[in-house]
Each structure stands twice: as C-alpha cells, then as structure tokens.
Structure 1
Amino acid sequence: MKILTTSIISLLFLTSSLFSDAKSRKVVADHLQNISVTIKSEARYSKSEGSGVLVNRKIEGENITFVWTAGHVIDNLRTIREVVDRKGNTRKLVEFSDARIVKELVEDGRRVGEIKMDASVIKYSDAENGHDLALLMVRAKDYGKDSTKFLLKTEDTDDKIVPIGTRLYHVGSLLGQVGSNSMTTGIVSQVGRVLGDIARGAEFDQTTVTAFPGSSGGGVFLENGEYVGMIVRGAGEGFNFMVPIRRMQDWADENGLSWALDPSAKAPTFDEIKKIPVEGLAGEEADKEGDEESFSVEDPRFPFLIKVTKK
C-alpha cells in the first residue's frame, strides 16, 4: 500500500511538473511572438522583407517603440545627396526613407489581424565595413507594451558567451510575411566564428536554428526568452550565423545607444535622438559615394537571409 501511495504521489508530481513546463514554454512563446515584427523596406527599384525585435522606452513621459534589425534589411532605403552649407562648403548628407513595421496579431495561436506603422532609421551600420546593425524608431506612440530582454554583460560578468550546445529559439518572418512570425529551435553550434574578411573580421556565433530568407534581423533567444543574438547570414538550413549580443552591446556603447538595450540606462530626450548621426560617430561625415545603392555586399558563401522582390 505504501509503495502504491508513493507511486501515485510521484506520478502526480511528474504530471504537475510537465504541466508547469508546458505552461512556461507557452508564456515564453507568446512573449517572443509579441516582441517580433516583420520589416518591409521598399525603395525605388527594389523591396525586401526581414525581421526585428521591439524595445519600448519612456521618452519624456511617452511610450516610444524602437526596433533592432540588421543593417542590410534596410540599406536599400539609404541615399546620399550633396548639400552646400552657409560657408559654401560641399558635404555629403546621408538620409534614409522610412521602413514599414508589420506586427501580426495572434490569439490562441491564430492570426486575427495586423498593425502597420512607419519607422525612421535612427542608427545604421553596414554589413561590409560595419556591424550590420540598425536601430529604428516607430513614429506612432504607444505602439506596443512588450519589450525585449537582452542578455547583457556587466562589470561583474564575462562577455556572456553562450556555451556551445545551449538550446535556442529563433522567431522571424521566414520567407517573408506569410502570416504570424515562425518560431524554430536549435542550439549554439560554435562561437567566435570569423567569416574571412566579412565585417572586417568581426566575430559571429553559429547556430542550428532553422532560418530562411526573411529571417535576417530576427532575434535568437534562450529558452527563458532572453535575447542572445541576431540572425544575419545563412549557409544552409541548420548552418546560420548571428551577431552575438556581446558585439551588439559593444556597438551600442560606442555609439551612445546603451539605453536601447539596457532598461536601467538613462533614456535620451527627443532632441538628443534627433542629434544622433545616422552613420558613424558624432562629427563624422559620410564617406561612401552613390545614390540608392546597397552597401552591404553579399557573400555567396554566407548569403543574407532577406526576402528580396524586384518591383
């Protein structure tokens, strides 16, 4: 009788534990869907689709939404024109058209609608000579409430390198906007990969999460929902590369954008946001020539994961 009672208690405990785990996974999955968006980038001669994640901050008392994505997702929106200042000097002015942010509305696992909003480009780094990152700001206020939680390094920790073998989730607009964002799983398969001369020898982490065109800019997360990287390139269904959060954090710190990753950092004012140079550091001028050209050169060995459609 005692053995039977013990067995029943063990079974009830196991059932409760499994139910709790399933509920926890659903909570994480719902959160990742809520913070993931599709990004549509339509220029004069081409249009593309990628992915991104939302970050919400209070700016001067108002809820403002920012979007992290890959630079190559929106670089077809980039133009350069020459202007003459008051002293008669000619300089180059870099400008970006707005991107379109699409958020799918899902209830009980089913799509029930979508919200489309315009977003301005706050900061951009190209894929060839930079870090392939971009920060956008949604023009509409109170666009969303959910915000991405990033696995950030601190003074008391190391570089937050996620160990090989760690289980991961990826949420992105696989194959473009064909309904709500897809969620896939995989592991960290390698860290600190250098892809030849791509991004001037910057490090990427390798993952087996399933990713397809449209995944670029989408987040990669731990099982608890913490953001650890951004999908940017792929060389096969289970052979993809992400910009690790440690590199994103270094770039954000260098460009005064820590507030877009760390909710404890002081948020800027609207005037301070307007003064952020869209490229390079403060005081630098554009050094690239051309008009409506892509400056993220694709390497056929490790192609970008955007969905491109010619107009």
Structure 2
Amino acid sequence: MERKWHLVKVLIGVGLVVVVFSAVHLVTRQTPEPPPVVQKQAEIKENEVVLPDHLRHLSRIVVRVRTHKSSGSGILVKRGKRIFIWTAGYIAHACRDTTGEFSTAAWVSVPLVNGTDDVPASVIRYGGLDGPALLELYGKHFRQGEPYIPQSTVFAKEETSSKIGDTVWHTTPFLSLATKGIIKELGRVYQSITYDVTTPISVAGSGGGGVFTEEGICLGMVMLGSADLSCFILPSREIRRWAKAKGVAWAIDPLVPMPSEEELKKLPIED
C-alpha cells in the first residue's frame, strides 16, 4: 500500500506553514503595503548553498510576490519591455476583492542594478488555487529606476526528460543563499494534479518560485511540501500545456508571438 502523504502549503508568508491531511487548505496572513517589511531570515539548513557563477542570474528572476493577505515567490519572464510573473494560483487568489473580481494588485520586488523596487502587478490569467497564475507588472510604476533582468526565465520543454537523481537548484527572495537537492519522483498525481517531487529544497515563502537544472532551465514551480519536507513542484511541461490551452503560451515560449494589446484586453482572467 502506498504510504500516506501529509502535504503542507509551503509559503503564504515567511515562517507560516499549514499542515494538510486529506485536502489542501489555504491560510493567509496580513501583509503591509510597500515598502517591504524586513522579514526574519529562515534558519540556514545543510542543503543551503551559494549559487555557482553560471546560475547567479537565478537570484534576479525568482522574486518576492505579496498581496494584502499572502506572500510567496514568482518567476520573471520578459517579452520586449513587458515583464510577466508566473506564480502559484493560491498567491494570486488573494488579489480577489469582496466581489470575487481580481481588482487588487500584487506587489513584486523587481531587481534593479542596486537593490529592488516594489512594483504593482495585475493578474491576467488564473488557473485556480492549485494551478499556475500569470501576472503582469504595471510598467509605469518603477519608482527607483529601470529593472535589471539580464536573462528571462527559460522553461523546460514538454519533451525534456528529467531523471530521478538529477540535481536541482532553488533560490528564494527570502534567503541570501540557494538550496540544492535532487529529483526523487516524477509524475506523482495528487488530487488529480501531476507533480514532480524533489528532496527538501523549499522554505516558507518558496511557493510560486522556480526549481532549476544545473544549466539554469526551469523545471517547474514550487507548490507543496510533504511531512518529510519533500518538495512538490508543478512541472514546466504541465504549465506549458495549461498556458497553451488558455491562450498564454507566449508567456512561457519566446517563439510564440505576443498578442496585440486588443487581444490581451479580451483575454479572460479565468474560465
């Protein structure tokens, strides 16, 4: 018999972990308006390491995303002068107002040449609490200079074949270091959603952040953690399939043409 997994949501605020038994429950906490508050740094663990030189750019494409009720991570994508953020659906969910509309902005800590700037972002596509969400920065709200993003996130292709035992890296805006682990399981289905599983690499605030190969390719997004601290990631192949089905493949595949402004305005936030 397959042993029972006890899953936890790994993020929704630094230091906040919610244990989930038969289902995943969303718990949020109040977060003040920008400028960002100083968060208590998570305890350094054995698997935390310094990023090698060829992966240093990851610290600029995995960013902090917070709303009035939650805080986690996101993955930056550049298309021309526009900047988009992939994050977990349960973070974007907190952008709903009392009527259920996505009218409340999220705040993204965008990297500058020196430091960061908190910039508002709107939800443009939402895949449910346990799915991905796509945000876009309000481009005219940079208060402290232009963003410095030397490289956009490169997502693994659908046909990319990861193997159990492959090394993975994870960086989070809540730590000055990165974490390193390995893939321990591929294609695990939990509540009808397919995940890949890694050894412990996430901390509180990691949710929505990326997991990367030794070459800096994004294998997926941190979504859940288990009782033994294993990390459940939504694979890039699943995000690609969802993006293609929902008309936002251009936000994950640079070879797909960007839609016009009029086409973007017609795009529904959720189906």
Same fold (TM over 0.5): yes
What is the aligned partner in structure 1 of residue 125 from structure 2?
123
What is the aligned partner in structure 2 of residue 31 from structure 1?
57
Q: Using a 3 Å threshold, how does the CA distance of structure 1 residues 236 and 184 change in structure 2: closer, same or farther?
A: farther
What is the aligned partner in structure 2 of residue 10 from structure 1?
none
SS of 2:57's partner is helix
Alignment partners' CA distance in 2, 1:193 and 1:267 = 33
Alignment of 1:17-28 (within 5 A): 25-28=52-55
What is the aligned partner in structure 1 of residue 156 from structure 2?
151
Cα displacement (A) at 1:113: 2.6
Cα displacement (A) at 1:27: 2.4
> 1:175-210, CA deviations, whole angstroms, 9 ceiling, x for partnerless residues?
xxxx65x41100111011112x3xxx1211101142
Cα displacement (A) at 1:143: 3.6
Alignment partners' CA distance in 2, 1:104 and 1:65 = 12
Aligned-partner residue type, residue 221 of structure 2: M
Aligned-partner residue type, residue 257 of structure 2: K
Contact 1:126 1:133 in 2 (8 A): yes
Cα displacement (A) at 1:219: 0.1
Alignment partners' CA distance in 1, 2:131 and 2:121 = 18
SS of 1:74's partner is helix
Structure 2, unpaired ranges of 5+: 1-50, 141-145
The answer to whether 1:53 aligns with 2:52 is no
Alignment of 1:198-277 (within 5 A): 201-236=192-227, 238-277=229-268
Contact 1:50 1:73 in 2 (8 A): yes
Contact 1:35 1:53 in 2 (8 A): yes
Aligned-partner residue type, residue 101 of structure 1: V
Alignment partners' CA distance in 2, 1:101 and 1:271 = 25
Alignment partners' CA distance in 2, 1:118 and 1:95 = 13
> 1:69-92, CA deviations, whole angstroms, 9 ceiling, x for partnerless residues?
0010121221363xxxxxxxxxxx
Could you say what the CA RMSD is over the residues aligned between the two structures, in angstroms? 2.1
Q: How many residue pairs were aligned?
A: 215
Cα displacement (A) at 1:114: 2.0
SS of 2:255's partner is coil
Q: Using a 3 Å threshold, how does the CA distance of structure 1 residues 144 and 264 change in structure 2: closer, same or farther?
A: farther
Cα displacement (A) at 1:273: 1.5
Alignment partners' CA distance in 2, 1:246 and 1:161 = 10
What is the aligned partner in structure 2 of residue 290 from structure 1?
none
Structure 1, unpaired ranges of 5+: 1-23, 82-92, 107-111, 281-311
SS of 1:259's partner is helix
Cα displacement (A) at 1:166: 0.5
Alignment partners' CA distance in 2, 1:65 and 1:143 = 9
- The structure in which a higher percent of residues are helix is 1
Counterpart among 40, 59, 78 of residue 96 in structure 2: 78
> 1:79-129, CA deviations, whole angstroms, 9 ceiling, x for partnerless residues?
363xxxxxxxxxxx73331100013558xxxxx5321100010011113xx
Q: Using a 3 Å threshold, how does the CA distance of structure 1 residues 171 and 35 change in structure 2: closer, same or farther?
A: same
User: TM-score normalised to the size of structure 1?
Assistant: 0.65
Aligned-partner residue type, residue 121 of structure 2: A
